[in-house]
Copies of this chain bind each other. A is one copy, B any other.
Amino acid sequence: MSQITKTKGVKQEEKGGKPFYGEIDIPELVEGDLLIDVYAAPINPSDQYLIQGIYPEPRKFPGISGIEGSGKVIQAKGQNLQNLVGKNVAFTPKHNQTTGSYGEYAISTEKQVFVLPDNVDLFQGACTYINPFTVVYMLEKVKELGVKTVVHDVGSSALGKQMIKYFSENGVNVINIVRRQEQVEDLKQIGATYILNQSEEGFWERLTKLTQELNATIAFDAIGGEFTSKLIDAMPNHSHIFQYGILGGDLNVNYNTTDLLFKDKHLHGFWLVTEQQNASPEKAQKVIKECTSLVSKTLSSNIVKKFKFEQIEEALEYYSKNMSAGKVLLTKHA
């Protein structure tokens, strides 16, 4: 089979440039490369950051965007990779390359794919990497620190809903922070125990009281800015606050030194890339196994809308206005 040489998809001329439907050449495969016929790819918050040019994943431009996806391996460069050809996989695109997941074809590598179970359809499979892996690595962190209750400040996000179910199955409580009353109802239906609406008066006092009562000494924060400053203040002594997103758009956080110095609070980031780099081979395998077995159950995503690559502008707008509804996919099968 001669190599496919071009792919159409969501293209950017340079880092942070306006995304548009365009075409690029597919680079020649080198040893270790897998060529994937992409089935679908979701829009994640990190995809928004990548398109804006503030996500530090190394990519080449002009290139196709997109951080994760699903598809079929149609070509593999390397004798020991031939068993992957023809397999359906979840994947992340090869680093320092032009071919992201928002295209017809993408290049990945052996370590960046895993074979999807037969019972997972490829729309669902497209959302396997970022959210489920993040949630599973988060639970690993919670267990390492021996904590029984955590705070999550975007409770009604796609990731938040997976966290509620997965943490609950593993005996960890989540205090979910949401912004609107309908999100409270929504989370009750999927079994959330603690839900606080940040738009209600007295929210910060209630959060402070509840975290103390439940000794909730871990927070996963995806908002950032002033909200994070208040969250640091509201957490009990000896807490660990992990920033894993910046949905509020403000990169600056202010804290009071007494919170760290005398109250033993700790501020960290939480990034899947770092977690994967630091994971022992055993831990990495365990996480893959967990995600593979749960991706059509506890860690499944609610897919609300599919767009073609040509509709990227519309898709991004829809996503940013409906982030708690579920996952938005880009796919040639829309």
Chain A residues at the B interface, C-beta cutoff of 8 Å? 54-56, 224, 228, 243-246, 251-271, 274
Contacts and interface: CB of A to CB of B under 8 A. Distances in A.
A314 to B, nearest CB: 29
A271 B267 contact: no
Contacts of A265: 269
A257 B253 contact: yes
Contacts of A224: 257
11 contacts: A251-B257, A251-B258, A252-B255, A253-B254, A253-B255, A259-B269, A261-B270, A263-B269, A264-B271, A264-B274, A265-B269
A266 B264 contact: no
A55 B246 CA distance: 33
Contacts of A243: 257, 260-261
Nearest to A274: B264
B251 A256 contact: yes
Nearest to A57: B262
Contacts of A264: 269, 271, 274
A285 to B, nearest CB: 22
A249 to B, nearest CB: 11
A243 to B, nearest CB: 5
A277 to B, nearest CB: 9
A208 to B, nearest CB: 18
Contacts of A245: 261
A155 to B, nearest CB: 20
A267 B241 CA distance: 10
Contacts of A274: 264
A271 B261 contact: yes
